[in-house]
Amino acid sequence: MVTHRFVDVNGIRLHIAEQGEGPLVILLHGFPESWHSWHHQIGALADAGFHVVAPDQRGYGSSDHPDEVDAYTIFHLVGDVVGLIQELGEEKAYVVGHDWGAPVAWHTALLRPDLVLGVAGLSVPPPYRGTQRPMAMMQEIFQGRFYWNYFNQPGVADAEFGRDTRTTLRKFLYSASGSASPSGEIMQPLVDPEKGWLVAMEDPEVLPEWLTEEDLDTLTESFSKGFTGALNWYRNLDRNWDLTAPWNNAVVTRPALYIFGDRDLVPAFPGARDVIDQLPNFMPSLVRAPIELPGCGHWTQQERPAEVNAALIDFLTTCEGQDQDPEGQQSGGAVPS
């Protein structure tokens, strides 16, 4: 059974869900989600012989929501994972992330390879630091209508999403799923600055099979404190670009796995598909070619739990069966320019 408790890490209090015994696996959710987005994986990975921990990350759910925008940098988020590993009494862990949780997982492996046994990312590929700040780049490409730029306006998206939390989440989950685009057509996430984002999202009369009313109940409750903490992650995109300059052209060297859906909007971002297609060439730690799930949208592990569970268990058990470098270091190349 999944149990719940609180852990003090990195100056904040995190709520965690956990199950199982064995090597530690940390599951990191994305936006707008919670620990519950991994409910299909927790038991399956525990049954496969792992100690599985899924936190509400900072700014989400029952975990602390720091007020300061700059308390949500990639260094803070990685620091939470590092602190969690240590507070759980472990020396190393496998780190798995989806959506925003994927950059946290990738950067944990990049910045602290000594603590990471293996890393898996769903939806968002390994970090690739472009030549200009993300906000300016998307401002130029989409004339300020890209959702990152919309989220960057203090209080605006917070108010829109908080007016009817349940409807907001239902629209988000459906509109970004494979269920909403049976033709496979993927639209860029652009926002009308006058009308907001939700007006363009479809509100389904019937939930898709992978999403239940109980799932929506749990997620709605987790956003009872509002959306500001979660949105503050996006408000650090440019700051993260500055902070990660010392790791420009560095690559993840720990054993790695990448999974994405062919109807996911993230691989359709400008330049993202090129990075994905080149991963096997420039990422020496990738254990296999990226796994592309047909008909799957953005909510990878919820839309395709069986395939994701099988891939993760195979990855984790394979890593466990191999000799691990005690220092967590492997030789690596550079990201192509």
Which of 39, 51, 76, 298 is catalytic? The answer is 298
Q: What is d(CA 198, CA 201) in angstroms, rounded to the nearest whole number?
A: 5
Q: What is d(CA 41, CA 315) in angstroms, rounded to the nearest whole number?
A: 14
Q: What is d(CA 26, CA 55) in angstroms, rounded to the nearest whole number?
A: 8
Q: What is d(CA 195, CA 71) in angstroms, rounded to the nearest whole number?
A: 30
Question: H/E element holding 153?
Answer: none
Active site residue 298: yes
Closest to 151 measured CA to CA, from 160, 141, 140, 164: 160
Q: Tokens in use for 131?
A: 């030549």
Q: Tokens in use for 216?
A: 């929506």
Q: DSSP label at 196?
A: B
Q: In 3-state terms, the chain is what percent helix, strand and coil (to 5)?
A: 45, 15, 40
Q: What is d(CA 63, CA 15) in angstroms, rounded to the nearest whole number?
A: 5
How many alpha carbons lie under 13 Å from residue 227 in its C-beta half-sphere? 26
Active site residue 242: no
Which of 56, 64, 99, 264 is catalytic? The answer is 99
Residues with catalytic annotation?
99, 298
